[in-house]
Amino acid sequence: MMKRNGDDIHMFNVFDVSSAIVEHIQQHCPDDIAIVACYGSYVQGSANPRSDLDFFFIPASSDGYRASIQFIIDGISFDFWPISWERAERMASYEESNTSIIADCRLLYVRSDADRDRFNQLQEKIMNPPGLKLLERAESELQGAYVHLYKMRSTPDQNNLAFYRTESQGILTKVLYSLALINRTYLRKGWGKNTEQILNFMIRPARLEDYLHTLIHSKSCREMQVNSELLTQETIELLIRQQESYTDGPSYTDRMHGFYEEFKGIFNKLTEACEKNDMDTAYYWSTGLQDVIAKFLYYSERGYWPVELEVSLTYQVYYENAGFPNLVALFDPQNLLPLEQAVQRLESMFVEVLTAKGLNILQFNSVNQFRDFLRTRE
């Protein structure tokens, strides 16, 4: 890197800094640091004279964390920061948005072959991500976008340009990362430098380029809000379509295994609430029980969970098609008897459905009967 300082021009190699740190580690704490790596613009070949060197390390012991240091040399900032093996695993599993740090880094120091193998396994994991897990992560990011949409819709100051730009930027980062996950990949460059990759996604809103241009260049608060809402909604629709492509047919014995045994307690709570005229408890569990059964039926049929951001409760159709009583509609604060009867009817019908699907429900009449089961199981 060439730096100008007054009338003097001199060369400043940022990798001399990393070499100094690695040399220090080798001399003073070689057993406390497992990995040292750099990432970012210098690895990608896009560095400029003002670029800093992004690097991190994975401690091998609690003492290793002491190597963390932030400093400036000749006007260039450096952050030598620690990532635990557990966090590196989360990054490689796409549970954090900075997967590229692990995927595209350059190793500068490795303590042992075992550490190298462990790190290589993380990188290999990134290249073969489980599709449904990525879609679930994408949905989580889109849920975060709705926080910003809510703030846009709720603000009394509808002409505050700084506010709308801040919220639309928050939406963009959430939605664009979701699109990367929907495309089973990660964002390889930082914000502002990843536009080419984003626009080349195979799965993307048809007007994605227009949305990006509008949200970045617009001076109209209303226009930013409208485009943010459209971009978010179209991405949700893409997410739902992609999820549907992963269905592998119904499987009640695998996906419903243990469900009734676990949720039998909710049937009991709701029945008791009706008997004791406990309106509050009856309200919460009548809605909750019906909803969780509907979701499990959906999951058992399709192999994935319903998208929470879908505007209609389409997953409830499996509950309705089974002929189960509508607990939510039957809840009446003035008279809980119809709800109580419906809960009893639902439990009986639900057990019949499960057994007809081939599930073996584990329920016993006595502890001795349970002991006999355990002996047989062994």
Q: Model confidence over 287-309: pLDDT tens digits? A: 999 999 999 999 999 988 999 88
Question: What is the rounded CA–CA span in Å between residue 45 and residue 295?
Answer: 48
pLDDT of residue 12: 59
**Per-residue tokens: 247:** 């269905």
Q: Model confidence over 239-252: pLDDT tens digits? A: 999 998 887 778 99
Residue 11 pLDDT greater than 90, yes or no? no
* Residue 33: closest CA among 123, 124, 118, 112: 112
Question: What is the rounded CA–CA span in Å between residue 42 and residue 16?
Answer: 13
* Residue 126: closest CA among 156, 143, 98, 102: 102
**Per-residue tokens: 154:** 């709720």
Is 377 or 223 the better-scoring residue by pLDDT?
A: 223
pLDDT of residue 2: 44
Q: Model confidence over 74-110: pLDDT tens digits? A: 888 889 999 999 999 999 999 998 999 999 999 999 9
Q: Model confidence over 317-370: pLDDT tens digits? A: 999 999 999 999 999 999 999 999 999 999 999 999 999 999 999 999 999 999
DSSP assignment, residue 158? T
pLDDT of residue 247: 75
* Residue 82: closest CA among 69, 95, 99: 69
Q: What percent of the chain has pLDDT over 90?
A: 79
pLDDT of residue 358: 93
* Average pLDDT value for the chain: 92
Q: What percent of the chain has pLDDT over 70?
A: 97
pLDDT of residue 192: 87
Q: Model confidence over 121-157: pLDDT tens digits? A: 999 999 998 888 999 999 999 999 999 999 999 999 9
**Per-residue tokens: 139:** 């949905």
> pTM for the complete prediction?
0.84
pLDDT of residue 21: 93
